[in-house]
Amino acid sequence: MERYRKGFLYTALIIFLLSIKPLISLSLSGGEREFINVNTASREELTLIPGIGEVTAKRIVELRERKGRIRSLDELLEVKGIGPKKLEIIKKYAKCE
């Protein structure tokens, strides 16, 4: 029984480590943080930003297409589902160029 418990814990640990891989890719790399450019990122890339799911990513892409480009991350407040608190989190991982 103990053997199965250890096997389960190891499996759970591996699944957890694989699930945080996208977040690790957003961490510091070479001393600099890699930011996701909201003007060029695909929907899938936008979902790597904490707090942005598929629906919000789709809305960001629609906003970008409607405006031509996003000039300031503050414009993301126009997206349904993004408020001031979520925007502060997004600013840690995103940029607009």
Look at residue 39 and tell me if it is in a domain.
yes
Q: Is residue 16 part of a domain?
A: no
The answer to pTM > 0.85 is: no
The CATH number for 85's domain is 1.10.150.320
Residue 8 placed within a domain:
no
Q: What is the CA radius of gyration of the chain?
A: 17
Cβ atoms of 90 and 33 closer than 8 Å: no
Other C-beta atoms closer than 10 Å to the C-beta of 69 total: 13
**Domain residues for 51?**
22-95
Residues 38-87 have pLDDT tens digits of 999 999 999 999 999 999 999 999 999 999 999 999 999 999 999 999 99
Looking at residue 28, what is its pLDDT?
Answer: 42
| Residue 15 within any structural domain of the chain | no
- Enter the tokens of residue 3: 């053997």
Domain count of the chain? 1
Specify burial of residue 95 (Cβ count, 10 A radius: 0-12, 13-18, 19+): middle
